[in-house]
Structure 1
């Protein structure tokens, strides 16, 4: 479930949404680091609470695909490669997008409401924690989707991720926590629609 053994071509064909998101991470990273307009693009994409309050609401979404540091990009993209495909396969493209982007939006709204006006942030971590939230809901309500071995992998990685959330001063703690909560909150809605569709068929 979480171990990837497909070829690149097979992966991109089976998981087009995950592939698109990772490509978006890489393209935006390159644009904000290696182009003449990198500084202006970065300031356009960053999730600045001040500018969101001023009406620039796209900044609730753009941080989800924005990374400035290579390590940040690699870690979040690798996490998406590990934990995104299984959910895209279970939920389908549309439901996966709703869960992923929805959790990232919830995380960024929480950041806006709970952190200072001067706070600014980037990164897909809130949306990725949203995937964890969906998985946690499934562990308690739809165990048929996750076997014991993958449950252990999921809980260990989630535990480590939560611990490191509070150890690094540069991490958006509110984004991580509310991304997790947002994913868990969206999960019953997404999975209910999936099961209704299955029953109709």
Structure 2
């Protein structure tokens, strides 16, 4: 379920949404942080999540932070997480539902961050909220749709979720609320997204 054995070309063919998201991550990092293109730097300033500016009507900042990252390690970590945990869900849900799950969970994380302190001049960015939304969908399957997972996958998912939540509170410079509300958003989205899904996607 989480082992990637495809060739690069097969990965692009089977998981086009994930491949596109990762390409966006890397392209934006190159333009903004490596090449420091003036228009790209301006995009980053306009796209970073900021509670105070959101409260002033810049609501696009609830979406744009999902695709922005603070440096190479941040970009690679979230992209690698998406490569590991995204393909099974893209295959199961299909392109449209996967896009909705990813974006809405990421937005839920950013809304939670904003709602905690709307007036704070607090900035945040990264795809972690959306990725924790994927964890939320897996968590829902683990407890409410066990038939969709084999035993090994269930054990792996349980460990990953526990470790992810623990590290959320232990690592510095983490948007804790973004992770938690993204996770909750994934759980909330899971029932309608999985309603017509039957076992057999990972055999």
The aligned residue for residue 108 of structure 1 is: 110
Tell me, yes or no, if structure 1 residue 10 matches structure 2 residue 10.
yes
1:188 pairs with 181, 191, 195, which one? 191
Tell me, yes or no, if structure 1 residue 87 matches structure 2 residue 84.
no
Structure 2: which 5+ residue stretches go unaligned? 199-203
Q: Per-residue displacement from partner, 1:81-140 (whole Å, max 9, x unpaired)?
A: 000000000000111111111110111000011035211100000000000000111112
The aligned residue for residue 163 of structure 1 is: 166
Using the size of structure 1 for normalisation, the TM-score is 0.93
Q: Which piece of structure 1 moves more, 35-44 or 46-55?
A: 35-44
CA distance in 1, matches of 2:97, 2:110: 20
**Count of aligned pairs:** 195
Q: Per-residue displacement from partner, 1:24-70 (whole Å, max 9, x unpaired)?
A: 11111112112331432221110011111111111111111101211
1:153 pairs with 149, 152, 156, which one? 156
The aligned residue for residue 133 of structure 1 is: 136
Structure 1: which 5+ residue stretches go unaligned? 197-201
Using the size of structure 2 for normalisation, the TM-score is 0.92
**How big is the alpha-carbon RMSD for the aligned residues of Structure 1 and Structure 2?**
1.4
